[in-house]
């Protein structure tokens, strides 16, 4: 069994699901530290002496440079997250290894109603005759991002065992809570000490992602007046009704289900409350700040219209920025993208430069001064029981990492 596959199969069996809405502890689930501690032990076994886990669960380690000290080589960072999405169970994952894949639909044995259909996943056919890894259909697989973790760990092993691979100083980082938007909450960029980093957290083989959405979250809070419905005429102000109208007034043409590519969206994703108070949360996403401004204006106009219609209600609209398009920062450090594209080529793959219709830890890190594009890890159908990863994709991701460290050594 290949080293990267062996590691991946072990890692996905460790339950590391993170949890939404946890404010009183970090990481959100203690179980994530089970894998993080395992990684520290494995790094030390490889001879990486400074591997450690800090108070927040971040694992960091250093592969020392083997380049002549007189020549300055940038410090490269390699980052992946250990948690899996809370949208689908990640407990008791039973990975299935499909060798000599026959090119047909894959019926998952734990739940035969869960089928990975070729018609919906044509990329499967690129791996006919190869090896595909799935869950058994009762859980997600966890390739997001344990494929990235396994690929980094396997590359580190190669670097520690083979001194003929030229490389500068390499910093390794494994993080918790990425899936709940808090992967870099306590990440110390200055202490990490990399000049350029890469998150190994992308999808299809060959993809290099250097552009994310800009992201804001809008919260409508509607306060109404609740009285007995039998005596409500002229008295009641139903916050639930007003909030429902807010959702209906958001144009469907700019919803996630109606957009793709470089087109942004408004996405009402949370609704709760009652007559006295109701809350609607709306995700605002666009690749340009001009597009963000247009979408903010739409929401502000909706709020003002509802205030006019319902003067006795208290309607508040609060908009908070989550992150910005990392391209704005990556353009300031062109080596980050150039080296990534060339590393993919040297691994024998045609690179695919891609926008991410979402965000990554790389966006946060880039704005903290650490340019961090995102490289493919190979997994597909993230956050789903139909998640899968081709072994070839993981092997090529590992190879890309090794080519990347050589490129940095070459300068």
83 is an active site residue: yes
Q: In angstroms, rounded to a whole number, what is the distance separating the alpha carbons of residues 288 and 328?
A: 10
- Looking only at the bridges linking them, the beta strands covering 388-390 and 214-223 are unpaired
* 394 burial type by CB count under 10 A (0-12 exposed, 13-18 middle, 19+ buried): buried
178 is an active site residue: yes
Q: How does DSSP classify residue 310? A: -
CB 72 within 8 A of CB 169: no
Encoding tokens for residue 309? 């219609």
Catalytic residue (choose from 178, 201, 210, 395):
178
* 249 burial type by CB count under 10 A (0-12 exposed, 13-18 middle, 19+ buried): middle
Question: CB within 8 A of 250, min separation 6: which ones?
Answer: 266, 268, 282, 298, 299, 302
CB 362 within 8 A of CB 104: no
Instruction: Tally Cβ neighbours within 10 Å of residue 272.
Output: 11
CB 2 within 8 A of CB 391: yes
Q: What share of the chain is helix, strand, coil (3-state, %, to 5)?
A: 35, 25, 40
Encoding tokens for residue 399? 């190879």
DSSP reduced 3-state for 157: helix
State yes or no: cis peptide before 27, omega within 30 of 0. yes
Number of helices (H), then strands (E), belonging to the chain: the values are: 10, 17
Active site residues: 83, 178
């Amino acid at each position: 069994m290949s080293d990267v596959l062996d590691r991946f199969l072990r890692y996905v069996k460790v339950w590391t699901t993170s949890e939404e809405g946890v404010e009183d502890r970090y990481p959100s689930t203690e179980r994530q530290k089970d894998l993080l501690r395992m990684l520290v032990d494995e790094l030390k076994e490889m001879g990486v002496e400074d591997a450690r886990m800090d108070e927040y669960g971040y694992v960091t380690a250093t592969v020392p440079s083997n380049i002549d000290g007189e020549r300055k080589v940038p410090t490269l960072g390699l980052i992946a997250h250990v948690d899996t999405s809370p949208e689908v169970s990640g407990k008791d994952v039973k990975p299935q290894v499909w060798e000599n894949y026959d090119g047909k639909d894959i019926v998952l044995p734990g739940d035969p109603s869960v089928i990975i259909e070729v018609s919906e996943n044509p990329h499967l056919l690129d791996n006919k005759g190869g090896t595909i890894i799935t869950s058994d259909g009762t859980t997600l697989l966890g390739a997001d991002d344990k494929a990235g973790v396994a690929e980094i760990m396997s590359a580190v092993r190669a670097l520690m065992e083979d001194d003929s691979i030229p490389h500068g100083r390499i910093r390794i980082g494994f993080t918790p809570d990425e899936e709940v938007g808090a992967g870099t909450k306590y990440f110390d960029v200055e202490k990490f000490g990399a000049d350029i980093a890469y998150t190994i957290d992308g999808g299809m083989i060959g993809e290099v992602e250097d552009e994310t959405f800009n992201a804001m979250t809008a919260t409508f809070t509607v306060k109404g007046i609740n009285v007995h419905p039998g005596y409500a005429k002229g008295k009641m102000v139903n916050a639930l009704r007003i909030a429902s109208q807010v959702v209906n007034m958001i144009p469907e043409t700019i919803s996630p289900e109606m957009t793709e590519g470089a087109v942004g969206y408004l996405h009402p994703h949370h609704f709760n409350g009652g007559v006295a108070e109701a809350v609607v949360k709306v995700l605002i996403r666009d690749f340009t700040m001009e597009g963000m401004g247009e979408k903010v204006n739409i929401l502000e106009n909706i709020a003002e219209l509802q205030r006019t219609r319902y003067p006795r209600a208290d309607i508040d609209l609060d908009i908070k920025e989550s992150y910005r398009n990392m391209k704005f920062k990556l353009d300031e450090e062109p080596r980050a993208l150039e080296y990534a594209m060339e590393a993919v080529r040297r691994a024998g793959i045609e690179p695919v430069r891609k926008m991410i219709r979402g965000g990554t830890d790389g966006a946060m890190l880039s704005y903290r001064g650490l340019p961090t594009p995102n490289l493919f890890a190979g997994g597909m159908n993230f956050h789903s029981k139909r998640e899968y990863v081709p072994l070839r994709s993981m092997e090529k991701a590992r190879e890309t990492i090794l080519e990347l460290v050589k490129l940095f050594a070459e300068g």
